[in-house]
Chains A and B, each alone.
Chain A
Amino acid sequence: MISRNPQLDANRALQHLLTTEGLPAAILLQILDTAETFMGVTEREVKKVPLLRGKSIFNLFFEPSTRTRTTFEIAAKRLSADVINLNIAVSAQSKGEALLDTVDNLSAMHADMFVVRHSQSGAAHLIARHVQPGIHVINAGDGRHAHPTQALLDMFTIRRYKKEFHNLRVAIIGDILHSRVARSQIHALTTLGVPEVRVIAPKTLLPRQVERLGVHVYHDMRSGLRDVDVLMMLRLQKERMQGAYLPSSEEYFKYYGLTPEKLALARPDAIVMHPGPMNRGVEIDSEVADGHQSVILSQVTYGIAVRMAVMAILAGSQSGDSV
């Protein structure tokens, strides 16, 4: 029944950003190019452009988050939007208000854009289907499904360091099964033409038929990291030990933690990425995290420009050049 790509309008322009899956490469590149124009804004003394002046952006966080919410807030403020933060994990939902009732109430306050994070896969799609035309939804993470702005800032980082996508070998390492970041990265990488995307994880942390997403599956870091240009680490949640996915974080670190020795298997100019927050000594060794191949702090910086780009494109204003 629901068949048209819900992210695109009738003219195939972006109306919501819900997932990187199914978005044409041209739109992904448009976001990256627009983000480049905002890099200048974030580096100058007055870090503000008036593109979204008078627009109201609601950060709807049904799941606790500090980092992602903050970067969205900074991005919106640099575009001169009014930002309202709602930490719904501790307000309406605990009073039993239904998700879509919350959205209706905020829409009645003339919201222009919702930035949504929710613990359930598909929550952002549900909201996007429900809101009036003209209101845009940005998925800031839904369950295990998607986290498209994270994947886009990762693509932005890769392009900054590696220039091209078509000659890269990229490995995503860690808890693929539970990771919305990994899914969004895989779709973005394959859409942008990366010829070889690898996933490296124990079998308990890989979803069924993940190879159908266009990735090569490895269980061993020694073979999986060989000749890789980009290493994308994933955060390992502590709950995985309780859920019998893994015996201990120590054993995980031994086989899947990124140490200088394992990093040496990749290409000498390989870059190391992590969406944060890091568990040092669990998925990544401090020596690597703080080492010269790490681009983790650049990711954080670029995240603001990329989120500005997404908001600006959705609001119909595309470039920071003229300001």
Chain B
Amino acid sequence: MRIHIQNGRLIDPKNHIDAVRDIYIADGRIQPFDTPPTGFHADRVIDASHLVVCPGLIDLSVRLREPGLEYMATLESEMSAAVAGGVTRFACPPDTDPPLDEPGLVEMLKHRARNLNQAHVYPIGALTQGLRGEHLTEMVELHDAGCIVFGQPNALPKNLRVLMQAMQYAATFDFGVWLSPQDIHLAYDGVAHDGEVATRLGLPAIPVCAETIAIANIVLLAKETHVRIHLCRISSAEGLAMVRAARQQGLKITCDVSINHLHLSDMDIGYFDSNCHMIPPLRSFSDRDALRAGLIDGAIDAICSDHAPVDDDVKLLPFGQSETGATGVELLLPLTLKWGLEMKRPLVEILAAITCRPAAILGIDAGVLAPDAAADICIFDPEDYWKVTPSALLSQGKNTPFLGMELPGKVRYTLVNGDIVYQSVEKLSALPLRR
């Protein structure tokens, strides 16, 4: 399909472009700006006046709950949610049931996702078999099946020797290793940040040192093994300071923060709101503020949704027994915009955290809006505030701490490889169709 996007405010964070441009798309690729290629006849013209046109968003953590956890969500529901959120590429953590530790599982997931013809899916291969932290997975086989990085979600393996060898093996083939910096013994039975809120509510606590000690271990092992490390979900100011220090020593280490930790603190747990039950836990105000600032100065590379669709049955339980996580892929853009507005930073800067910077972490050629790039595009109205309600979300998971909030940024169109894979329903009548 050939598409002409008219009068949009093109923002390409990678090339620092923020200007009104006309975009022409043919053969799934972006053509040179402003003048149509010779012989170009648009099948479809999109009037993007007053809208932002940016690269399709890239989310470093979206759980599809397949295989094995289909009662929480399905590939269909979550893929639709992703493109409704403007997300065109995302990584899936391997914490499925069974975990993504065999090539067959990865191939099946990639195949099912490809058939839906929506966003590009990047399964994160399990670093150890069954994620048990004991034996290495067949990383090369998994890579051939479609895994470009390998991870161990939620906590570090107990056995650091296994972790070191997994890093060495991954480094042999230059595979990136994605780790969740949480020490399993220090986190133990904890469900909330070790601070005044957990003390008042009598919730078993997770100290900050569960994160910092894990980061210290990872940093020392990274020095030993020279592997590319990505830290998933930094939650504390002290942890972030350690990442800064490691980088100053020249280590290849990146990190991300979730939309939840960017906006919330343990105070938001209120009277035991199980929607705020997260791994890692929501920490203090000062931790949150350090994370918000760390994204501006580049210490944190990317924002992710940490999308975890969870059904009501497992949330309507006492806080400590409730399932962790929140739905989020449809809130990635609004909550990134909200953070940018609050920090008073320009769009071209803040959108980098959900486009070109996560692309670099994944090591993929994406997250740009330039001639000859794949036409993965998100078109949104930054002025349109909408209320987060269960019916406004396409994800099967409706549980999020942001329910009831008004957030900025409504996606109007999402394009993948030059095809319109999503357009917002309420604007359908206004579509200028041309043949």
Is there contact, CB below 8 Å, between A207 and B403? no
Given A1-B403, A2-B273, A122 contacting B320 (CB threshold 8 A) = yes
Residue from the list B195, B270, B272, B320 in contact with A208, Cβ < 8 A: B195
Kindly state the separation between the CA atoms of A3 and B199 in the bound complex, as whole angstroms: 19
A29 at the interface (CB under 8 A from B): no
Is there contact, CB below 8 Å, between B318 and A126? yes
Residue from the list B200, B207, B275, B318 in contact with A213, Cβ < 8 A: B200
Give the secondary structure class of B's interface: loop
Is there contact, CB below 8 Å, between A2 and B199? no
Is there contact, CB below 8 Å, between B200 and A120? no
A180 at the interface (CB under 8 A from B): yes
B196 at the interface (CB under 8 A from A): yes
B204 at the interface (CB under 8 A from A): yes
Residue from the list B198, B271, B275, B317 in contact with A6, Cβ < 8 A: B271
B319 at the interface (CB under 8 A from A): yes
Is there contact, CB below 8 Å, between B201 and A209? no
> How many chain-B residues does the 8 Å CB contact rule pick out?
27
CB A70 to nearest CB in B, in angstroms, measures: 24
Residues of chain A contacted by B317 (CB below 8 angstroms): 98-99, 120, 126
Residue from the list A21, A98, A143, A208 in contact with B194, Cβ < 8 A: A208
B390 at the interface (CB under 8 A from A): no
Is there contact, CB below 8 Å, between A122 and B318? yes
Is there contact, CB below 8 Å, between B201 and A122? yes
A144 at the interface (CB under 8 A from B): yes
Is there contact, CB below 8 Å, between B316 and A126? yes
B404 at the interface (CB under 8 A from A): yes
B321 at the interface (CB under 8 A from A): yes
CB B136 to nearest CB in A, in angstroms, measures: 32
Residue from the list A3, A99, A100, A144 in contact with B203, Cβ < 8 A: A144
Residues of chain A contacted by B201 (CB below 8 angstroms): 121-122, 145
Is there contact, CB below 8 Å, between A121 and B313? no
Residues of chain B contacted by A183 (CB below 8 angstroms): 200, 202
Is there contact, CB below 8 Å, between B196 and A209? yes
Is there contact, CB below 8 Å, between A118 and B318? yes
Given A1-B270, A121-B318, A213 contacting B202 (CB threshold 8 A) = no
Point out which of A143, A207, A212 has the most chain B C-beta atoms below 10 A from its C-beta: A207
CB B138 to nearest CB in A, in angstroms, measures: 37
Query: Besides A99-B318, A125-B271, 19 other CB < 8 A contacts?
Result: A1-B273, A100-B316, A120-B320, A120-B321, A121-B201, A121-B202, A126-B316, A142-B318, A143-B203, A144-B203, A145-B202, A146-B202, A180-B202, A207-B199, A207-B205, A208-B199, A208-B205, A210-B199, A213-B200
A residues adjacent to B (C-beta < 8 A)? 1-3, 6, 21, 98-100, 118, 120-123, 125-126, 129-130, 142-146, 180, 183, 207-210, 212-213
